[in-house]
Amino acid sequence: MSLPDKKGYFGSFGGKFIPETLSFCLKELEDAYRNIKKDKKFKKELKTLLDEYAGRPTPLYYAHSLSDYLGLKVYIKREDLLHSGAHKINNALGQALLAKFMGKKRIIAETGAGQHGVATATAATLLGIDCEVYMGQEDMERQKANVFRMRILGAKVIPVTIGTKTLKEACSQAFRDWVTNVSDTYYLLGSVVGPHPYPKIVRDFQTVIGKETRKQILAARGKLPDYLVACVGGGSNAIGFFHPFYKDKKVKFIGVEAAGFGQGGLSAASLVKGKPGVFQGSKSYILQGKDGQVKNAHSIAPGLDYPGVGPEHSFYKSIQRADYQAVSDKQALAGFNLLSRFEGIIPALEPAHAVYYLKKLAKFGKGKTVILCLSGRGDKDLDIVRKYNL
């Protein structure tokens, strides 16, 4: 049986833990998505957008220097070469087109670091749909360039001033808006998190990464890889990369979370350090304190700085289909430098965590074939790196 099941569960994870007022919105979305998935016109339009606008298929690149240095055969899936600089555009285009097919006039989104907000603003503008993005006031201060980008693209950025003034509250505000305005509004969620059917919809739109990779590695080597390595924030680039290899039991999956300060300090490693619980509409691993309250997350990578993770990853962990590891801020910076210096590719700080993990893998995986999902490019992170590296 393919997962999630009808109620949105991956094993015991996922589901729909929502107030009654939201059930109509989610049901409408679920029905629309089920129909559109089979719609030839939708599929064709999406493929055109992905290929001609976003720049798919992305290359699978054999990293010669890094491979020699590590004693591994390292291939890199270049999602960093996509328009707007990261894999997030795959999901944003898919859902924005879904919104258009549903006849919605307005798209709303939540954003933390602003990357999902920028991808959503890009897709909405392209399709001629109004866009409003909820963003915590604290995050707006920290990520001024992305606020500016969204405004250039014609989106309205709405500051969220409640609670910690960050992603969590931005998400709640977006849901609140959706309940009130569902007749003309589509809520475009940014990762494989939240209540059913979002983890499934976002995963489906991101599986283009893994499907292409599977074909490309078979064409290049005539066999499947030994390992797939990807960073995990909410988990969308990783699940999109892993999922098409799910049945290839010999292909090992390694999800790399952010250990933040490391050694018991603040982190964003929900799977490695968290426990199952309910957060933002679904059951999954979350970082929580002794009495179950959600902890603050920290990572040097803005896109990994989230105390929860998608339910499908929790399921993969529970059945040991994937192995989850955590890499600290400092190690991620080493990963950032490694890829920049050996391959002339400046990675985003999120996949820099996965790059660093290759050094650990090299210790026990000599000669193995590894594919790294390079989810985004590093231009957005240069200010952060400058502060730490000097």
Ligand X SMILES: *Cc1c(COP(=O)(O)O)cnc(C)c1O
The answer for residues whose C-beta is within 8 angstroms of residue 8's C-beta and 6 or more apart is 14, 15, 16, 195, 196, 197, 199, 200, 282
Residue pair 190/107 in contact (Cβ under 8 Å)? The answer is: no
Judge whether 88 counts as a catalytic residue.
Answer: yes
Select 91 or 125, whichever has its Cβ closest to ligand X.
91
For position 115 contacting ligand X by CB under 6 A, the verdict is yes
Per CB under 6 A, which region of 167-175, 236-244, 275-283, 381-389 contacts ligand X? 236-244
For position 236 contacting ligand X by CB under 6 A, the verdict is yes
- Rounded to a whole number of angstroms, the minimum distance from the CB of residue 232 to ligand X is 5
Judge whether 283 counts as a catalytic residue.
Answer: no
- Rounded to a whole number of angstroms, the minimum distance from the CB of residue 103 to ligand X is 28
For position 231 contacting ligand X by CB under 6 A, the verdict is yes
Among 30, 79, 110, 132, the active-site one is 110
Note every long-range contact of 51-57, with CB atoms under 8 Å and residues 24 or more positions apart, other chains counting: 53/83, 53/93, 53/126, 54/82, 54/83, 54/84, 54/89, 54/90, 54/93, 55/81, 55/82, 55/83, 56/82, 56/90, 56/208, 56/212, 57/212, 57/216
Q: Which of 305, 351, 357, 385 binds ligand X (CB under 6 A)?
A: 351
Q: Which of 235, 260, 281, 311 binds ligand X (CB under 6 A)?
A: 235
For position 8 contacting ligand X by CB under 6 A, the verdict is no
Among 16, 73, 88, 200, the active-site one is 88
Nearest residue to ligand X, by Cβ distance, number only: 376
- The footprint of ligand X on this chain (CB under 6 A) covers a number of residues equal to 19
For position 271 contacting ligand X by CB under 6 A, the verdict is no
Q: Rounded to an integer, what distance in angstroms lies between the CA atom of residue 35 and that of residue 3? A: 18
Instruction: Give the DSSP letter of residue 2.
Output: -
Per CB under 6 A, which region of 31-39, 133-141, 225-233, 320-328 contacts ligand X? 225-233
Taking CA atoms, 174 is separated from 132, 155, 186, 188, 204, in Å, by 9, 15, 10, 9, 22
For position 111 contacting ligand X by CB under 6 A, the verdict is no
Q: Which of 199, 303, 308, 335 binds ligand X (CB under 6 A)?
A: 303
Q: Which of 126, 228, 232, 361 binds ligand X (CB under 6 A)?
A: 232
For position 311 contacting ligand X by CB under 6 A, the verdict is no
Task: Write the interaction track for ligand X spanning residues 171-200; mark x where CB under 6 A is met and - where it is not.
Answer: --------------------x---------
Does 225 sit behind a cis peptide bond, omega within 30 degrees of 0 on the bond before it? Answer: no
Structure tokens at 154: 């014609």
For position 237 contacting ligand X by CB under 6 A, the verdict is yes
Select 234 or 365, whichever has its Cβ closest to ligand X.
234
H-type helices in 153-291, by residue range?
A: 167-181, 198-206, 208-221, 236-242, 270-273
Select 63 or 271, whichever has its Cβ closest to ligand X.
271
Taking CA atoms, 93 is separated from 55, 73, 83, 359, in Å, by 12, 33, 11, 34
C-beta atoms surrounding 197 within 10 Å: 22
For position 266 contacting ligand X by CB under 6 A, the verdict is no
Nearest in space to 312 (alpha carbons), one of 288, 279, 283, 281: 283
Q: Which of 376, 381, 384, 385 binds ligand X (CB under 6 A)?
A: 376
Judge whether 375 counts as a catalytic residue.
Answer: yes
Residues that bind ligand X (CB under 6 A): 86, 88, 115, 191, 231-238, 303-304, 348, 350-351, 375-376
Q: Which residues are catalytically annotated? A: 88, 110, 375
